[in-house]
């Protein structure tokens, strides 16, 4: 009887120990499968990094471990024990895709296997989270991980048109995105309040459009301004540097160039871009403005194509975001030439004019082997109180367009996918990082599912993934931005990577402690509930 009790006690102790180890190995984002195994791998200054064909990732791993532990691990071609091995295996593409990976840790060493360098890179991120310091040694408990992302589009958006942040802030964000296995940086570079990208053919876009004299403070309805100039833009050389930095972390940068609305900064630089041809100032007031591009003027369309051509020459991304949101149609309605154009082209509403223009831009981008993306107003639905009930589109949006859903009834997603469009779900009430923590708590962010409830399973593959947005109107500096981004960025990262069945908010909150330590060490400001 005592022997039986001893066996039961030993079994319970083993289960408890295994459960504790699995708890300690809770990662963000949580992998598809994770199994605790026996033994411990000790990392020392003699631990070899075996890069194989993944030389770039091996160097990244070496530098990351050095920053974390101060251990300078040697790069070696082979080792029998005490190693971290990176191994490419194209056959894994069939089961884990290009971003999935296998991670196996034994007392002899750690091996990361994947079909591509992206998968190797994400395996490295998991490996780094598993490192702990115990008894004066850096160790990793034995573990087997098989992992791949739920969605291929896991994005963070930064709006720098409203408040310019600069290269250092962007690179810091990219580093944290990489640690969380996010792969898309959506860069909102132009808007009413500022133009932040150098366009060599039109230098006034940054010389004039990149500067405003004052900025609204307080709230949307405020009449108070700070009286301080605000300016800033990225040269093309700086943009190339940031793109390379992102690419080394397997992050694609999607540029957004707003058209036909949110265009006041461009019109301030070149008044002939609007319908009135009147000089305006770059507005310091936030919200939706009256001035929009005159898309019926061939000269304006040529300007936009010229801008996009320079953007394409900079950004290797196959997707170009053209905005398309919050267009006030009043200026078009008030212009006789626009009205005549609409009649001659049989366009029943200003929304149809916008769709027609958007489709022409889509054709232009397709001719450059690029794909157009825009906020869901580009489909022609009435989403805003400032547009008339008749301001809806009847024309069909160009095929191949990616619809970026942010506002309106969730049925609009069904409408988009049923018509064949791919969708990125960024529903504002669940993903806007400028909303405070009362509006979107960490738990609220964690509960967001990019696939809306009730969507027919046959359309699930049309949901490319998730985007979370850091709009900049009321976020004047880097500290204010970081407090809104962290830790919710980690929640959105898990929304995009982890299967719903593997999500657990209580465990996620506990695992956040590792990231709080990381962010503190990197002088990142974060909100802690």
Query: Could you say which of 291, 326, 494, 495 is catalytic?
Result: 326
Beta bridge partners, 144, equal 35, 104
Q: In this structure, are residues 321 and 256 in contact, taking their beta carbons and an 8 Å threshold?
A: yes
Beta bridge partners, 86, equal 112
Written in H, E and C, the secondary structure of 475-502 is CCCHHHHHHHHCCHHHHHHHHHHCCHHH
Q: Where are the alpha helices (H) located in 198-297, listed in sequence order?
A: 204-207, 236-247, 264-269
- Say how many C-beta atoms besides its own lie within 10 A of residue 223's C-beta: 8
Q: In this structure, are residues 359 and 380 in contact, taking their beta carbons and an 8 Å threshold?
A: no
The continuous run of DSSP H or E covering 212 comes out as strand 211-212
| Strand bridging mode 137-147 / 33-43 | antiparallel
Nearest to 88 by CA among 67, 62, 119: 119
**Lookup: tokens for 75:** 């790069």
Query: Could you say which of 191, 352, 377, 495 is catalytic?
Result: 191
Sign of torsion over alpha carbons 291, 295, 299, 301: positive
Is there a catalytic annotation at residue 326? yes
Query: Could you say which of 163, 262, 289, 404 is catalytic?
Result: 262
Is there a catalytic annotation at residue 262? yes
CA distance 411 to 397: 17
How far, in whole angstroms, is CA 109 from its chain's centroid? 33
Count CA within 13 A, CB hemisphere, residue 516: 9
| Strand bridging mode 137-147 / 190-191 | unpaired
* Residue bearing tokens 């009930």: 389
| Strand bridging mode 137-147 / 153-159 | unpaired
Written in H, E and C, the secondary structure of 84-147 is EEEEECHHHHHHHCCCCEEEEEECCEEEEEECCHHHHHHHHHHHHHHCEEECCEEEEEEEEEEE
- Say how many C-beta atoms besides its own lie within 10 A of residue 133's C-beta: 10
CA distance 280 to 266: 10
**Lookup: tokens for 19:** 């459960």
Q: In this structure, are residues 294 and 306 in contact, taking their beta carbons and an 8 Å threshold?
A: no
The alpha carbons of the chain give a radius of gyration, in whole angstroms, of 25
What are the residue numbers of the active site? Answer: 191, 262, 326
């Amino acid at each position: 009887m005592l022997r039986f009790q001893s066996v039961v006690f030993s079994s319970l102790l083993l289960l408890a120990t295994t459960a504790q180890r699995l708890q300690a190995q809770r990662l963000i984002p949580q992998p598809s499968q994770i199994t605790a195994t026996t033994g411990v791998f000790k990392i020392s200054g003699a631990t070899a990094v075996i890069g194989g064909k993944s030389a770039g990732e091996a160097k990244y791993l070496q530098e990351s471990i050095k920053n974390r532990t101060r251990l300078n691990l040697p790069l070696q071609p082979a080792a029998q024990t005490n190693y971290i091995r990176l191994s490419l295996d194209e056959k894994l593409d069939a089961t884990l895709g290009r971003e999935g990976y296998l991670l196996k840790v034994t007392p002899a060493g750690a091996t990361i296997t994947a079909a591509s360098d992206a998968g190797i890179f994400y395996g490295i991120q998991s490996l780094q989270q598993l490192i702990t310091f115990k008894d004066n040694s850096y160790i990793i408990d034995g573990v087997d991980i098989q992992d791949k992302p739920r969605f291929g589009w896991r994005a963070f958006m930064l709006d720098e048109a409203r408040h310019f942040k600069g290269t250092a802030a962007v690179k810091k964000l990219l580093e944290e995105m990489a640690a969380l296995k996010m792969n898309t940086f959506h860069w909102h570079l132009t808007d009413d309040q500022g133009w932040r990208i150098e366009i060599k053919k039109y230098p006034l876009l940054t010389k004039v459009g990149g500067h405003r004299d004052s900025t609204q403070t307080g709230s949307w309805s405020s009449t108070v301004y700070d009286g301080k100039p605000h300016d800033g833009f990225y040269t093309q050389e700086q943009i190339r540097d940031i793109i390379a930095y992102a690419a080394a972390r397997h992050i694609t940068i999607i540029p957004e160039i707003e058209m036909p609305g949110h265009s006041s900064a461009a019109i301030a630089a070149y008044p002939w871009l609007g319908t009135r041809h009147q000089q305006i100032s770059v507005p310091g007031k936030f919200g939706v403005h009256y001035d929009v591009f005159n898309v019926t003027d061939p000269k304006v369309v040529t300007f936009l194509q010229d801008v996009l051509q320079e953007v394409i020459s900079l950004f290797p991304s196959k997707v170009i975001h053209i905005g398309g949101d919050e267009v006030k149609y009043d200026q078009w309605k008030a212009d006789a030439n626009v009205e005549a154009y609409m009649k001659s082209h049989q366009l029943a509403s200003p929304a149809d004019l916008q769709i027609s223009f958007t489709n022409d831009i889509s054709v232009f981008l397709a001719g450059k082997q690029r794909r157009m993306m825009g906020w869901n107003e580009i489909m022609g639905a009435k989403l805003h109180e400032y547009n008339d009930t008749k301001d809806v589109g009847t024309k069909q949006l160009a095929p191949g367009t990616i619809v970026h859903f942010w506002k309106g009834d969730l049925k609009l997603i069904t409408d988009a996918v049923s018509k064949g469009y791919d969708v990125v779900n960024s529903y504002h009430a669940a993903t806007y990082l400028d909303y405070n923590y009362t509006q979107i708590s960490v738990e609220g962010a964690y509960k967001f599912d990019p696939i809306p409830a009730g969507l027919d399973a046959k359309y699930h593959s049309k949901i490319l993934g998730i985007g979370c947005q850091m709009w900049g109107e009321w976020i004047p500096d880097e500290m204010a931005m970081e407090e809104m981004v962290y830790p919710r960025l980690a929640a959105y990262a898990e929304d995009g990577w982890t299967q719903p069945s593997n999500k657990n908010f209580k465990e996620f909150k506990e695992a956040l402690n590792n990231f709080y330590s990381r962010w503190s060490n990197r002088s990142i400001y974060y909100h802690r509930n």
